[in-house]
């Protein structure tokens, strides 16, 4: 069965894709999940990683049109697609909430050789952090709904 996150992806020919899911009884919109996982603004670490290392054009301003500085490209109650670009990398994050699960899909396309060098190193940390982001958000949201 095709994961619902793939239906929301528009990144053509990604060089990297990962998908993490977490079963949960918490009911919240995909955007709420994303904001709890990533924050409204990128913060110091996000700024260093996204802007500094990866060169992604993310904003520091809190806005209904961004999550952690990434641009909201598409939204519905059950799905949210975020996009960010740099001269050498295009990134897409898709969060979906379907059938008692929240899913995070990360896709990257290398626009230049530097992207193919930098993202795989960052991806090692990303793959370790993503499950914890989902679990942490589930705990936070469960407390909000209690």
Q: Note if the pTM is more than 0.95.
A: no
pLDDT tens digit string along 36-51? Answer: 999 999 888 888 889 9
Per-residue model confidence (pLDDT) at position 5: 65
Tell me what the pLDDT averaged over the chain comes to: 93
Q: How far apart are the C-alpha atoms of 40 and 61, rounded to whole Å? A: 8
Helix (H), strand (E), coil (C) string for 103-124:
EEEEEEEECCHHHHHHHHHHHH
pLDDT band at 20 (very low <50, low <70, confident <90, very high): very high
Q: How far apart are the C-alpha atoms of 89 and 114, rounded to whole Å? A: 8
Q: What is the Cα gyration radius of the chain? A: 14
3-state class (DSSP) for residue 108: strand
Count of C-beta atoms within a 10 Å radius of residue 123: 15
């Amino acid at each position: 069965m095709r994961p619902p996150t793939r239906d929301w992806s528009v990144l053509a020919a990604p060089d990297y894709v990962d998908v993490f899911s977490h079963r949960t009884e918490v009911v919240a919109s995909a955007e709420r999940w994303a904001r709890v996982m990533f924050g409204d603004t990128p913060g110091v670490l996000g700024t260093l990683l996204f802007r500094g290392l990866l060169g992604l054009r993310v904003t520091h301003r809190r806005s209904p049109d961004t999550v952690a500085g990434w641009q909201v490209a598409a939204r519905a109650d059950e799905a949210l697609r975020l996009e960010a670009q740099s001269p050498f990398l295009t990134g897409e994050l898709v969060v979906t909430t379907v059938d008692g699960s929240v899913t995070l899909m990360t896709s990257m396309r290398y626009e230049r050789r530097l992207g193919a060098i930098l993202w795989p190193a960052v991806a090692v940390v990303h793959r370790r952090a993503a499950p914890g982001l989902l679990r942490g958000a589930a705990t936070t949201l469960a407390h909000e709904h209690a």
